[in-house]
Structure 1
Amino acid sequence: MTFHFILFTITIKKRTYSGEQLEQFVLQQQNEQERQERIQQLQNK
């Protein structure tokens, strides 16, 4: 996890989301980050 992602998650937590919404949002972010990393790896080949 990147530092930016951790800060982003903390910022989101400060807003009043329900636990379930927050959990889904965090999962979405992780999936997006993994996708970006995969795209970068493919481009670097």
Structure 2
Amino acid sequence: MAYADADFATKETIFITKGIDFIAKEINSAMYNIGFITEKIDFVVK
């Protein structure tokens, strides 16, 4: 039974890690989009 619990905990950890990685990529993408929008505004202002 302890083995099954350990296996489940490992899968949970992997799942959480993938979730954090996905969130990090989403934030990175949002940052890139903000930078792109800022450049567009800058271009329009000039």
**Which sections of structure 2, spanning at least 5 residues, go unmatched?**
36-46
Scaled by the length of structure 2, what TM-score is found?
A: 0.60
% identical equivalent positions:
3
* TM-score between the two structures when normalised by the length of structure 1: 0.62
Query: 5+ unaligned residues in a row in structure 1: which ranges?
Result: 1-15
Say which structure is richer in helix: 2
| Larger Cα-atom Rg | 2
Structure 1 runs of 4+ off > 4 angstroms? none
Which structure has the higher relative contact order (CA within 8 Å, separation 6+)? 1
